[in-house]
Structure 1
Amino acid sequence: MEKDKVRQLIKSYEETYIFVTRQLHDAIAEQILGKQGISFEQFLVLRYLAEHGESSPNDLATALSMHKSAITAKINRLFEKYLVHRMKNVEDKRGIRLTVTDNGEKVYQACEQKLEELVSNWLEILARKTANNF
């Protein structure tokens, strides 16, 4: 490959990375999650539970690479909004298990649909931009 094309690919990657980390996060927070009254991090917890089923706070902290105290705060907010259900862990009386409520499932599905639409639109834009650069 020519050196100029390699440099152009690196530049395109850099632009894409910056676009995704800044623009995508902000747009998701504003356009999708703000309407549901949850933060991006709360959505990640809700999404994990919806996709993986019943979990413990420790499972969530590990899977999402978050500190347990941060997970606890997010769980509390989701619980207050009736999006997750807490139940005692039958195997460990001190622990709890978490599941998504029916309302939580509706919020997750609505957010996921909007997220897919948003990302799909942006991928089309990036594809056109990339095609024009080469």
Structure 2
Amino acid sequence: MESKKVKQLIKSYEETYIFATRQLHDAIAEQILGKQGISFEQFLVLRYLAEHGACSPNHLATVLSVHKSAISSKINRLLEKNLIHREKNHKDQRVFVLTVTENGEKVYQACEQKLENLVSNWLEILGEEDSEQFLTLYKKISESVIQKTKGE
């Protein structure tokens, strides 16, 4: 691909990423930062647990591509806010398992609804055909990045 197109793609991605990240962060912040005092990254931990069920802190660090020491502070903050619960694994007492509390589930559901509304608005602006093209291209790019990351 020619250099000019590559530079245009990088610039476009940067602008979209910054805008989309800000919009997502603001949608989450409106729901949880003010009320619950947690960060967007902490919400991602809560979201993963709500969608995938109980798991260990090590597993969370791996799937969220976060260093193990960084995940600990996120987990501790969510524990303090009673959004998640930590208990020993019944199979291996040396390992802890994290689950979402009832309060955490309520926060997750409210935030998830906000995110769905936000993304629905974006897709509505694009229209049906462009939305499908965007999703197809986004999936191709995501798969390509994941494959290259795993191959390195």
Look up the SS of the partner of 1:55 in the other structure.
coil
Q: Quick one: distance in 1 between partners of 2:58 and 2:14?
A: 34
Q: Quick one: distance in 2 between partners of 1:84 and 1:17?
A: 29
C-alpha change, 1:19 and 1:123, in structure 2 (3 Å) is: farther
**What pairs up with 1:48-59 in 2 under 5 angstroms?**
48-59=48-59
Q: TM-score, normalised by structure 2?
A: 0.68
Q: Percent identity?
A: 65
Look up the SS of the partner of 2:55 in the other structure.
coil
- 1:84 correspondence with 2:84: yes
Structure 1 unaligned runs (5+)? 1-5
**Shift of residue 31 of structure 1?**
2.5
66-75 or 31-40, which moves further after superposition? 31-40
Deviations 1:3-49 (CA, angstroms, capped at 9, x unpaired): xxx89x9576564344224x324423533332332210110000000
Q: TM-score, normalised by structure 1?
A: 0.76
Task: Determine the structure 2 residue equivalent to 1:3.
Answer: none
Q: Quick one: distance in 2 between partners of 1:85 and 1:14?
A: 37
Task: Determine the structure 1 residue equivalent to 2:32.
Answer: 33
Q: Quick one: distance in 2 between partners of 1:95 and 1:120?
A: 40
Deviations 1:61-104 (CA, angstroms, capped at 9, x unpaired): 01100011111111100001111011011222221000000110
Task: Determine the structure 1 residue equivalent to 2:62.
Answer: 62
Q: Alignment RMSD, CA only? A: 2.5
Q: Quick one: distance in 2 between partners of 1:88 and 1:123?
A: 43
23-32 or 85-94, which moves further after superposition? 23-32
Task: Determine the structure 1 residue equivalent to 2:136.
Answer: none
111-120 or 33-42, which moves further after superposition? 33-42
C-alpha change, 1:69 and 1:26, in structure 2 (3 Å) is: same
Task: Determine the structure 1 residue equivalent to 2:108.
Answer: 108
Task: Determine the structure 1 residue equivalent to 2:118.
Answer: 118
Number of equivalenced pairs: 121
